[in-house]
Amino acid sequence: MKIAIGSLNPTKVQAVEKVFFDCTVLPVSVPSDVSNQPLTDDETMRGAINRARHSRIESKADIGIGLEGGVIISGDKLLLCNWGALVYDGGVLVASGAKILLPSEFIPALQDGRELAELMESYTKKKDIRSKEGAIGIFTNGRITRQQMFEHVCELLLGQLEYLKNNNC
């Protein structure tokens, strides 16, 4: 079975490779058709669905997976949010990732259009966190990395697909 993943980010590709270990995984760079830095749950979920659809078509795969990172501003709180989508011949499945607090001081810059990845680099003085432990790895003291969070999202997607197939839905 061929599984497309709509990103070249190693945390996303490796998460898909780990969960769909018995499939051929095809990473492909595709647009999310949402802003580079989604600012709501809904926008982040739509980004994941768009990536899944584009990647499945572009790779002529059986299944397309989209994983998208974003943030949510809730009053004075800033939360990291992530969504995954799986597109197959029967439709679209979605699942969200764990949410954690991010520093509220990031809010004005994010509202001005800056990306979390860039803010994380100046905050931590570390390069390319988005391809390594991620913001979730930094702010959970390394207990949950970005790849582990995406693996959990992939398990939620695959589990839903298995349930539907097992129950002839």
Ligand X SMILES: O=P(O)(O)OP(=O)(O)OP(=O)(O)OC[C@H]1O[C@@H](n2cnc3c(O)ncnc32)[C@H](O)[C@@H]1O
User: Taking CB under 6 A as the rule, which mask of x and - marks residues 54-93 in contact with ligand X?
Assistant: --------------xxx-----------------------
Q: How many Å apart are CA 97 and CA 83, to the nearest integer?
A: 6
Contact status, residue 56 vs residue 2, Cβ threshold 8 Å? no
- Alpha carbon 158 to its chain centroid, in Å, reads 15
- For ligand X, which is the closer residue by CB, 20 or 150? 150
Q: Which 129-158 residues touch ligand X, going by CB under 6 A?
A: 129-130, 134-136, 146
Q: How many Å apart are CA 160 and CA 165, to the nearest integer?
A: 9
Q: How many Å apart are CA 72 and CA 166, to the nearest integer?
A: 35
- Within the chain, what is the greatest distance between any pair of CA atoms? 51
CB of 152 to ligand X, least distance (A): 14
Q: Which of 49, 87, 120, 154 binds ligand X (CB under 6 A)?
A: 120
- For ligand X, which is the closer residue by CB, 68 or 151? 68
The residue ranges that bind ligand X (CB under 6 A) are: 7-9, 12, 36-37, 68-70, 115-117, 120, 129-130, 134-136, 146
